[in-house]
């Protein structure tokens, strides 16, 4: 790969000299890889400098993850290591995240372009995200990914490149080839197709900071349990408090739908569900009237959409269905955890 | 991909790459072409071995990769390899370093150089996988040279420099290269590397052993028992070598600077020329702090930064020189020495200044960034401002303090999530009856009725969709009546159920270390029984003690589990075998079958997946005289539940072991929703036979041959992405070997089933 003849210039920089990108996603959608590709494209293909990394912890597939890219002019040193708090481009890979994670924290009108992977229009996206204002991008990355045989991250990269305004096509292509081209050469066409469509099809619209929604400054997490009030040694006393978490953001489009009429209450679903979503109660069997354990339904707060239960059920009582076609509040059955 | 760096003609060619700290450490190791890497995975250093393994599969180097049974074993492998006279490399973090710890002074005391990359991470208690310096600072007194790499470029440079220093005949000491976990290890940065690995090898020269354990013509005794007249002399030799290392380090740094065009100072001095106040800080945080120095300098403040690149031997001269005009100094430590009123660097700097006549530098120590807590430019500015205040007032108001700790929200009480499961709620579903012949009969194994068993693990845990661990755990626990206390080894199960301040355990749960779960739980059991004996706990109180480990935990923890078996501790150990160290990134474990691909047994033109057969933990424990052991799978849930009930009964007598095969869609590269057919194939191929051993008598519970359902192993492996390559022609020998071994073990098991003596 030849070096870009003129080291790139950035259209806009923050006070430390960086153009910053933050991707909000869940494990498994490829945001981390996208960040790395963008970084490599900038450094190797465009004579810029920069850093690419992700938020790391014990993330598993489906749990929230952030990927960061910092870009600066060649010769400028990258000395900060902390997460991107006020990005120039904020790309939300997974719409449902906005329900549980402050994905738009740090977005500033006039500075940040917010891109959402969605079927909504820019105006609808703005409403959905409750954005103070600024440039909003909307792209149906899921649909384009499926159509091109690629993945959401490739489409989002195209949209991010468009929003940034300085990424060079050849640099991106070379970086993608470097990441996957050798191992999966057959996928290159689809990947580049997805990248191009993301770039071409993302729509932007500008919204003034009209006071409709408040500003969303970035807040650094401050633990509620600290050195004054946390039980010593790190012991946790509230047994089972993970049940307060909402795991619905781990789903990527499909849910199991419970058809009560087909259920024989065999209990196999309760064996196969890793997330213990099935709500059973002692009562009268709807068919026989006899006393016994009765399945009331699924608590979708915990369902990650693995669909194991749909594969196990021999009676078509659990059927894979598109989440978007369901009223989740209506069909969810809550556990009675406390008396 | 390369961009040719424009350097003077005399310098060897370099190219630009974009790599993380871990990747570049692997690249350096590849270019050096170490003879051996002994290793064991631990976050955040796992990627070094993974990257090297992937490179090996592609034929890019000759480094022989040897997985240890644990870090202690890996360090032992490295020690042995260094005695045999070659260049050796290892990489670890935090508790991995601690587990290897007793090897460290032997490596230095018996004078065998090697290079150990420490990707710094918080030391457990409680466990935190993110980066601070609590691990590397514990190594300060082990006799190793310690180089600090503050960014990704430095990781490369220091790794090339390290062997030259350690192998120098005036030194002959092992060397650590420490860089920050996640902040440096996982960030992609622009790095310049030598294009031709030969340049690197020429810089290092060939490895010259002073002694080797593999020359029978020169027989030597390595590591004798040494008594008091002699040890002090051995140590003085070692100490003198460390003192001599100081000059060697400077010499090698200078040579490397000439070769690369990059200056590597022993101590980085940033805008220190006329600084009256300074911040002393290491690695990635120092980089951030330089921005703060610039920002304060722009306001006319005379501040600077000191960042040593070497901490053993401590660069006394350079630091004393740097502090000559400095009146106020803040030393920031990313760890604490608890009770020493300062972290490691604070203590050493203060000690260094003690040797300076007329010292004017007042020092305050600050503990920051513990457990990976982010360090921001504003934080460095605050520390520099404190240093300025010290400089101006001549007074250190607060000599030792934590920076950035949060007191917590006053009055906050975490909400209650569950009422504790009562004995009544957890009893009455399963009944054990003993037949006149003495056989145990389990009643009540009805899946519908058992949905009434309160779950001991709550919903809300963070496992991947489709995780087999929680299916196995839930199914097994349906067979357990009454109170349960669980202990988990480190692994996926533990990590996704207990991210502070959350827990998904509704019953009492303990997590100690990665490998000594069985020892820990034995301690719990013995204490429980002793306290009952003393009347501190009612005698009727019954708790079933259950240890949950992955196959990984039983590589590193097999010793303690066998120890518990030898003590016949009254507890149940269940091992979920998902075939790999999945939590740390799908590295191989010893239960992975031959040919299977993992991140440290890649498939490529030069490597065909794992090279050895799978470990049989159940058979290892069957040699331990346990009252009961079994295998179970989610394809046969009633069998598993029945065995759980039996396990509970036998745990009154002694230790019980159960092995469960566990789906991992991510590592096995399968669709999340398809589980039972895959597990069923593993069972029907007799790779994972279902059996139990009661007081030494083996009973096969399900014989696929009898049922006409036996299939070749291909029926199992064709369903998984991690094994698809085994169906290719180039893997035929591996596949045949796998099938033959599965058949052999099945035939043996059938004999055990027939013969009460086996």
- Which residue shows structure tokens 């058949």? B743
Contacts of A336 in chain B (CB under 8 A): none
> By three-state DSSP, how is residue B601 classified?
strand
User: What's the confidence (pLDDT) of residue A183?
Assistant: 79
Burial B404-416 (b: 16+ CB within 10 A, else e): eeeebeeeeebee
Question: B417 and A243: CB-CB below 8 Å?
Answer: yes
Instruction: Convert the pLDDT of each residue in A154-176 to its tens digit.
Output: 999 999 999 999 999 999 999 99
Chain A contact set for B495 (CB, 8 A):
58
Residue with tokens 């070598």, as numbered in its chain: B241
Q: Is B742 helix (H, G, I), strand (E, B) or coil?
A: helix
Q: Give the distance between the most distant pair of CA atoms in chain A.
A: 81
Cβ B645 vs Cβ B480: under 8 Å: yes
Pick A274's closest partner by Cβ from B129, B189, B466. B466
Q: Looking at the predicted structure, is the pLDDT value of residue A6 above 70?
A: no
Contact B672 A306 (CB under 8 A): yes
Average pLDDT, chain A: 94
B502 with A220: Cβ contact below 8 A: no
B25–chain A nearest CA distance, Å: 17
Contacts of B505 in chain A (CB under 8 A): 239-240
* Rounded CA separation B597/B609 (Å): 5
Instruction: Count the Cβ atoms, other than its own, within 10 Å of residue A188.
Output: 15
Using CA atoms, how far apart are residues B347 and B365, in angstroms rounded to an integer? 8
Nearest C-alpha of chain A: how many angstroms from B211? Answer: 44
- Angle, vertex CA B334, rays to CA B328 and CA B335, nearest 5: 110
Q: What are phi and psi of A123, to 5 degrees?
A: -65, -45
Of the partner residues B183, B450, B459, the one whose CB lies closest to the CB of residue A243: B459
Residue B693, CB-side half-sphere exposure with 13 Å CA sphere = 26
What average pLDDT score do residues A116-123 get? 97
With a CB cutoff of 8 Å and minimum separation 6, the contacts of B499 are A57, A58, A242, B462
pLDDT at B9: 57
CB-nearest partner of A1 from B1, B410, B417: B1
**Partner-chain contact A239 B417, CB within 8 Å:** yes
| Three-state secondary structure readout of B638-707 | HHHHHHHHHHHHHCCCCCEEEEEECCCHHHHCCCCCCCHHHHHHHHHCCCCCEEEEECCEEEEEECCCCC
Whether B253 and B203 have beta carbons less than 8 Å apart is answered as no
- Interface contact A228-B501, CB threshold 8 A: no
DSSP string, B43-76: TTTHHHHHHHHHHHHTT---PEEEE-SSHHHHHH
Give pLDDT, residue A339: 63
Q: What is the DSSP letter of B616?
A: -
> Cα(first)–Cα(last) distance of chain B, in Å?
60
Cα–Cα nearest to B554, from B633, B615, B600, B471: B615
Task: Please report where in the chains the tokens 């920050």 appear, as a residue.
Answer: B180
How confident is the model over B420-469, as pLDDT tens digits?
A: 999 999 999 999 999 998 889 999 999 999 999 999 999 999 999 999 99
Residue B1 confidence (pLDDT): 44
* Distance in Å, alpha carbon of B278 to nearest chain A alpha carbon: 18
List CB contacts (< 8 A) between B374 and chain A. Answer: 81-83, 220
How many residue pairs from chains A and B have C-beta atoms closer than 8 A? Answer: 289
Report the residue from A80, A266, A301 with minimal CB separation from B448.
A266
Reduced to 3 states (helix: H, G, I; strand: E, B; else coil), residue A233 is helix
Distance, in Å, from the CA atom of B468 to the CA atom of B464, rounded to the nearest integer, reads 9
User: At B603, is the secondary structure helix, strand, or coil?
Assistant: strand
ipTM for this prediction: 0.94
Stated pTM of the model: 0.95
Alpha helices of B189-227 — where are they, by DSSP H?
197-204
Mark yes or no for CB contact A276/B448 under 8 Å.
no
| Confidence label for A199 from pLDDT (cuts 50, 70 and 90) | very high
- DSSP letter at B101 equals G
Answer yes or no: do A44 and B467 touch at CB < 8 A.
no
State whether A242 and B189 contact (CB < 8 Å). Answer: no
- Nearest-by-CA chain A residue for B54: A183
Chain B residues with CB-CB distance to A228 below 8 A: 407-408, 410
Q: Enumerate long-range contacts of B9-13, CB under 8 Å, 24 or more apart.
A: B11/B259, B11/B260, B11/B261, B12/B194, B12/B195, B12/B196, B12/B199, B12/B259, B13/B194, B13/B195, B13/B196
- pLDDT in the model for residue B57: 94
**CA angle at residue B685 from B680 to B689, to 5 degrees?**
75
Helix (H, G, I), strand (E, B) or coil at B89: strand
Query: Which residue is closest to B5 within chain A, CA to CA?
Result: A3
The beta-carbon neighbor of B503 closest among A47, A240, A302 is A240
CB contacts of B377 in chain A (<8 Å) are 16, 80
- Can you read off the two tokens belonging to residue A269? 């679903």
Q: Does A275 touch chain B (CB under 8 A)?
A: yes
- The number of helix segments (H) and strand segments (E) in chain A equals 10, 11
**Is the confidence at residue A7, as pLDDT, over 70?**
no
Q: CB of A338 within 8 Å of any CB in chain B?
A: yes
Whole-number Å distance between alpha carbons of B94 and B97: 5
Query: A290 with A306: CB under 8 angstroms?
Result: no
A224 in contact with chain B, both atoms CB, cutoff 8 A: yes
Would you call B583 and A58 a contact, using CB atoms and an 8 Å cutoff? yes
User: pLDDT confidence of A4, banded at 50, 70, 90?
Assistant: very low
**Chain A interface test: which of B47, B465, B505, B584 (most A C-beta within 10 Å):** B465
Give tens-digit pLDDT for A19-73: 999 999 998 899 999 999 999 999 999 999 999 999 976 567 888 999 999 999 9
Note whether B647 and B655 are within 8 A (CB): no
Please give the pLDDT value at position A134: 97
**Pick from A106, A198, A192, A208: nearest CA to A156:** A198
- Determine contact, residues B36/B81, Cβ cutoff 8 Å: yes
Do the chains contact at B408 and A226, CB–CB below 8 Å?
yes
Q: Which residue of B has its CA nearest to A61?
A: B464
Q: Whole-angstrom Cα distance, residue B488 to residue B470?
A: 13
CB contact under 8 A, A274 and B406: no
Q: State how far the Cα of B120 lies from the Cα of A289, in Å rounded to an integer.
A: 63
Nearest CA in chain B to A251: B465
With beta carbons less than 8 A apart as the criterion, state whether B487 and B427 touch: no
Show which of residues 133-192 on chain A sit within 8 Å of chain B, judged by CB atoms: 174, 178
Q: Tokens for B79?
A: 């020690």
Q: Nearest residue on chain A to B18, judged by CA atoms? A: A40
Which residue from B44, B408, B503 is facing A239, i.e. has the nearest CB?
B503
**Of the candidates B324, B330, B331, B395, which has an alpha carbon nearest to the alpha carbon of residue B358?**
B324
Report the length, in residues, of chain A: 339
Cβ separation of B187 and A51 shorter than 8 Å? yes
> In whole angstroms, what is the distance from residue B744 CA to residue B65 CA?
29
Low-confidence ranges of chain B (pLDDT < 50): 1-2, 7
For residues B637 and A266, give the distance between their C-alpha atoms in angstroms, rounded to a whole number: 13
Spatial contact of B638 and B447, defined as CB atoms under 8 Å apart = yes
Using CB atoms, pick whichever of B130, B184, B405 lies closest to residue A227: B405
* Paired residues of A23 in beta bridges: A67, A91
CA–CA gap between residue A210 and residue A208 (Å, rounded): 5
Instruction: Name the closest residue on chain A to residue B475, using Cα atoms.
Output: A271
Query: Which residue in the block uniquely carries the two structure tokens 């010593």?
Result: A232
Chain A hits for B719, CB-CB cut-off 8 Å, are: none
Report the C-alpha gap between A188 and B189 in whole angstroms.
25
Angle between helices A169-176 and A188-201 (to 10 degrees): 150
Q: Does A5 touch chain B (CB under 8 A)?
A: no
Question: CA of A81 to nearest chain B CA: how many angstroms apart?
Answer: 6
Are the beta carbons of B531 and B46 closer than 8 angstroms?
no
Contacts of A230 in chain B (CB under 8 A): 408, 501
Contacts by B65-68, CB closer than 8 A, 24 or more apart: B65/B37, B65/B39, B65/B600, B66/B36, B66/B37, B66/B38, B66/B39, B67/B39, B67/B40, B67/B587, B67/B588, B67/B600, B68/B38, B68/B39, B68/B40
Q: Of B268, B204, B265, B264, nearest to B28 (Cα)?
A: B204
């Amino acid at each position: 790969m030849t070096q870009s003849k003129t080291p790139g210039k950035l259209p806009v920089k923050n006070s430390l000299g960086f153009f910053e990108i933050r991707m909000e996603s869940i494990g498994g959608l490829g945001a981390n890889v996208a960040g790395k590709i963008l970084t490599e494209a900038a450094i190797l293909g465009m004579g810029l400098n920069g850093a690419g990394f992700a938020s790391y912890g014990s993330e598993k597939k489906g749990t929230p993850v952030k990927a960061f890219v910092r870009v600066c002019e060649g010769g400028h040193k990258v000395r900060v290591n902390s997460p991107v708090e006020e990005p120039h481009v904020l790309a939300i890979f997974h719409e449902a995240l906005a329900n549980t994670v402050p994905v738009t924290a740090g977005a500033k009108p006039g500075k940040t372009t917010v891109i959402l992977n969605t079927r909504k229009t820019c105006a609808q996206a703005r409403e959905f995200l409750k954005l103070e204002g600024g440039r909003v991008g909307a792209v149906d990355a899921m649909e384009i990914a499926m159509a091109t045989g690629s993945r959401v991250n490739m489409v989002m990269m195209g949209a991010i490149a468009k929003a940034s305004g300085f990424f060079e096509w050849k640099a991106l292509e070379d970086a993608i080839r470097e990441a996957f081209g050798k191992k999966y050469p057959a996928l290159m066409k689809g990947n580049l197709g997805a990248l191009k469509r993301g770039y071409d099809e993302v729509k932007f619209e500008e919204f003034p900071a009209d006071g409709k929604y408040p500003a969303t400054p970035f807040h650094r997490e401050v633990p509620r349990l600290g050195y004054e009030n946390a039980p010593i040694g790190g012991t946790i006393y509230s047994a089972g408090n993970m049940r307060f978490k909402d795991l619905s953001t781990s789903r990527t489009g499909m849910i199991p739908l419970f058809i009560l009429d087909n259920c024989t209450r065999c209990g196999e679903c309760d064996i196969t569900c890793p997330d213990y979503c099935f709500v059973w109660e002692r009562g009268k069997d709807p068919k026989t009237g006899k006393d016994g354990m009765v399945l009331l339904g699924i608590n979708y707060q915990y369902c990650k959409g693995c669909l194991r239960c749909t594969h196990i059920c021999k009676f078509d009582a659990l059927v894979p269905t598109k989440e978007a076609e369901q009223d989740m509040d209506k069909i969810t059955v809550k556990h009675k955890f406390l008396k | 991909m390369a961009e040719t760096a424009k350097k003077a003609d005399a310098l060897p060619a370099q190219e630009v790459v974009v790599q993380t700290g871990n990747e570049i450490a692997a690249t350096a190791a590849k270019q050096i072409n170490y003879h051996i890497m002994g290793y064991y995975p631990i976050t955040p250093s796992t990627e070094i071995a993974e990257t090297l393994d992937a490179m090996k599969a592609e034929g890019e180097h000759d480094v022989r990769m040897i997985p240890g049974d644990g870090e202690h074993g890996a360090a032992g492998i490295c020690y042995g390899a260094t005695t045999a006279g070659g260049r050796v490399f290892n990489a670890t973090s935090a508790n991995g370093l601690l587990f290897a710890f007793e090897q460290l002074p032997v490596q230095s005391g018996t004078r065998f150089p090697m290079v150990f990359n420490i990707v710094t991470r918080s030391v457990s208690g409680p466990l935190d996988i993110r980066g601070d310096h609590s691990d590397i600072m514990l190594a300060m007194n082990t006799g190793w040279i310690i180089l600090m790499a503050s960014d990704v470029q430095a990781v490369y440079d220091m790794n090339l420099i390290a062997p030259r220093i350690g192998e120098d005949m005036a030194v002959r000491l092992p060397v650590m290269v420490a860089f920050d976990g996640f902040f440096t290890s996982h960030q992609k940065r622009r790095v310049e590397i030598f294009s031709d690995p030969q340049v690197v090898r020429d810089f290092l020269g060939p490895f010259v052993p002073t002694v080797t354990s593999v020359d029978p013509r020169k027989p030597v005794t390595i590591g004798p028992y040494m008594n008091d007249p002699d040890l002090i002399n051995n140590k003085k030799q070692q100490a003198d070598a460390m003192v001599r290392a100081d000059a060697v380090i400077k010499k090698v740094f200078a040579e490397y600077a000439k070769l690369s065009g990059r200056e590597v100072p022993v101590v980085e001095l940033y805008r220190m020329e006329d600084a009256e106040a300074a911040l002393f800080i290491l690695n990635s945080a120092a980089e951030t702090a330089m921005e703060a120095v610039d920002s304060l300098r722009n306001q006319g403040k005379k501040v600077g930064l000191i960042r040593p690149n070497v901490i053993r031997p401590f660069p006394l001269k350079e630091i004393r020189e740097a502090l000559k005009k400095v009146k106020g100094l803040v030393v920031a430590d990313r760890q604490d020495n608890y009770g020493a009123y300062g972290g490691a660097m604070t203590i050493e700097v203060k000690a260094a200044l003690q040797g300076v006549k007329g010292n004017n530098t007042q020092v305050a120590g600050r503990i920051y960034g513990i457990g990976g807590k982010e360090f921001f430019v504003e934080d460095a500015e605050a520390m520099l401002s404190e240093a300025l205040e010290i400089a101006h007032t001549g007074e250190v108001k607060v000599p030792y303090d934590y920076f950035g700790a949060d007191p917590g929200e006053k009055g906050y009480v975490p909400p209650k999530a569950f009422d504790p499961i009562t004995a009544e709620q957890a009893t009455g579903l399963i009944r054990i009856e003993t037949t006149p012949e003495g056989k145990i009969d389990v009643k009540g194994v009805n899946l519908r009725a058992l949905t009434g068993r309160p779950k001991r693990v709550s919903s809300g845990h963070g496992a991947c969709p489709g995780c087999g661990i929680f299916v196995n755990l839930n199914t097994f626990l349906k067979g357990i009546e009454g109170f349960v206390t669980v202990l988990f080894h480190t692994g996926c199960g533990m990590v996704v159920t207990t991210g502070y301040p959350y827990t998904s355990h509704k019953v009492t749960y303990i997590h100690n270390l990665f490998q000594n779960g069985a020892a820990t739980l034995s301690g719990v059991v013995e204490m429980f029984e002793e306290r009952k004996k003393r009347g501190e706990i009612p005698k009727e109180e019954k708790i079933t003690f259950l240890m949950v480990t992955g196959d990984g935990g039983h590589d590193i923890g097999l010793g303690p589990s066998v120890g518990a078996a030898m003590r016949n501790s009254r507890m149940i150990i269940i091992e979920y075998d998902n075939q790999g160290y999945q939590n740390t990134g799908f590295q191989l474990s010893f239960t992975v079958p031959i040919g299977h691909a993992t991140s440290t047994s890649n498939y490529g033109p030069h490597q065909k997946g794992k090279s050895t057969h799978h470990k049989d933990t159940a058979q290892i424990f069957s040699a331990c005289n346990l009252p009961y052991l079994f295998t179970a799978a989610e394809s046969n849930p009633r069998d598993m539940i029945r065995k759980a009930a039996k396990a509970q009964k036998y745990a009154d007598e002694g230790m019980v072991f159960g092995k469960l095969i566990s789906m991992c869609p991510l590592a096995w590269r399968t669709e999340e929703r398809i589980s039972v057919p895959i597990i069923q194939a593993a069972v029907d191929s007799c790779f994972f036979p279902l059996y139990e051993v009661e007081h030494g008598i083996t009973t096969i519970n399900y014989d696929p041959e009898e049922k006409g359902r036996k299939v070749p192993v291909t029926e199992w492996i064709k369903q998984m992405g991690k094994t698809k390559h085994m169906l290719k022609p180039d893997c035929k020998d591996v596949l045949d070997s796998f099938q033959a071994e599965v058949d052999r073990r099945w035939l043996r098991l059938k004999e055990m089933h027939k013969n009460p003596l086996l």
